[in-house]
A and B are shown apart, each in its own frame.
Chain A
Amino acid sequence: MYGGFWQKVADLDRRWIYLVIGLATFIPVLTYIRVPVSITSEVSAVYDKLDSLPRGTVVMVPMEFGPSTMAELQPMATAVLRHCFSRDLKVISTALQIEGVILVEQVLRETAMEYSKNYGVDYVFLGYKPSPDMVILNMGENFRNSFPRDYYGIELDSLSMMNGISNYSNTACIVNINATSGVDYWINYANGRYGADLALGVTAVIATDYYAFLHSGQIFGLMGGLKGAAEYERLIGRPRDIANRAMTSVSVAHVFIILFIIIGNAAFFANRRKDRS
């Protein structure tokens, strides 16, 4: 019976695991439980950079996420844009992932409305063009090479904010919110080729890949996943926004996954001992 029990545990139907994880992520969403979120240096670096810029400085916040990754990156994008608009920074944005163009436009427009920002004066949305590597390269020479007109069909030269703004060298920094492999193009071309100051906001699963670039100095800041978004919301003084609220679910899910790992290892060792005896 002892061996049978642990064998059943080792061969547990994965649907039980799915059920427990589903409940563990869903139930905390029903209520707001405040959890501590520690601020890391790589997220602080992004906040400090934007916070140090003089009012009226132009920054670039290109956003490439779609419906599948909006849960992690939309709160991050919203927090960064709120910070920029509250500091009266002027924002240029693009959306080089086709599935996310509409989402990015909505985030930009709605956040700008919160701060009574005017299009063409305080922010510009260039929109989408295919082949992100070519677009990022072309923008390093001149934004108008890839985007003679913005997303709404307005000529760039007729927008007051774009006067004297030709390429990356006319922006203070780039904060790229990206869920795609296009992050590598921003690092290789925008920073590597054109020397732009670059920070990244990426999903948690690919964030670990970019610590190497943080240490080499190719990026000055890194925000990873929902935790990075929660940290940024704390830094801008909005601890009850959606990323912080979702951290409870993330915490509970992590705990249950670790419990399953412990149970699985217990079953493994119990069965191995039984086999040896």
Chain B
Amino acid sequence: MRREVPLTIVFICGAFMAFQYFVPHYASATVYEYALNWTTIISIFTLAVGIGSLVNLHSDRIARRKPTWRYSIVTLAALAFMTILGVSSPDALSNPTGLFMKVYFYILSPVQATMFALLAFFIASAAYRAFRAKTLLATLLLLSAVIVMLGRVWVGDMLTGWLPEGLRFSYVANYILDFPNTAAKQAIYIGVGLGVAGTTLKIILGIERTWLGGGK
């Protein structure tokens, strides 16, 4: 029963949602909207599960004095501080001079922007290490990367401005993005779309059961 009940629910709901797509009748649309609203509600409750796991993990690290237990104190303190701050002030989100907004603008925003900025450095080191002309395909990858990078900034046209328009880096870069890139991605998209359809069919028919938590 532990597996049969969820599999039956998945089959009924999956088959209904599949055929609902083709039935615009208001009864079908009403059930669909009802299901969407319930999905939103359930997804919020799952956050409580996650927070419980987080608190449990870090409390255990503090209790057992594991190597990084001091950072666990910081994590739990930050969680508690922001929760209390947000809940205790009704205008936390709309008051630009409040402490909540100050923490958001002066701590969270710069930290997140910093993490994203790491990509610039990591792209350089990854390109230095990986873009080697070892094989024909690697050489093509290297050349197209160079052309697109230069073609997207003014340097490309500065270097190739003396060439006919069709041979300048900006034109070639746009050509690479418009045609080979698009064609390859569309082909992979078709494969991915069919893969999604196949996996969804397996889930509805009960062939794919890993989402139940492993085992047969």
Residues of chain A touching chain B, judged by Cβ–Cβ distance below 8 Å, are: 12, 14, 17-18, 20-22, 25, 35-38, 40, 66-71, 99, 101-103, 106, 129-131, 134, 137-138, 141, 145, 152, 205, 208-209, 211-212, 215, 227, 247, 250-251, 253-258, 260-261, 263-265, 268-269
Question: With A209-B185, A211-B177, A258-B146 in contact, is A137–B36 under 8 Å at CB?
Answer: yes
A131 adjacent to B39 (CB under 8 Å): yes
Chain B residue at smallest Cβ distance from A14: B125
A212 adjacent to B186 (CB under 8 Å): yes
Question: With A131-B40, A211-B177, A261-B142 in contact, is A36–B154 under 8 Å at CB?
Answer: yes
| A-binding segment of B7-15, B126-134, B200-208 | B126-134
Chain A residue at smallest Cβ distance from B152: A227
A25 adjacent to B44 (CB under 8 Å): no
Number of interface residues of B (CB under 8 A): 55
Chain A residue at smallest Cβ distance from B38: A134
Query: Would you give the shortest CB distance from B144 to chain A, in whole angstroms?
Result: 11
**Alpha-carbon separation in the docked complex, A221 to B113 (Å):** 27
A261 adjacent to B131 (CB under 8 Å): yes
Which chain A residues lie closer than 8 Å to B157 at the CB level?
A: 36, 38
Question: With A254-B153, A256-B124 in contact, is A265–B146 under 8 Å at CB?
Answer: no
Question: With A130-B44, A265-B131 in contact, is A70–B113 under 8 Å at CB?
Answer: yes
Chain A residue at smallest Cβ distance from B133: A265
B129 adjacent to A258 (CB under 8 Å): no
Q: List 24 A-B contacts (CB under 8 A).
A: A17-B125, A18-B121, A18-B124, A18-B125, A67-B109, A68-B112, A102-B93, A138-B36, A141-B33, A208-B177, A208-B185, A211-B177, A212-B185, A215-B182, A253-B124, A254-B152, A255-B153, A257-B127, A261-B127, A261-B128, A261-B142, A264-B131, A265-B133, A265-B142
**Alpha-carbon separation in the docked complex, A68 to B115 (Å):** 7
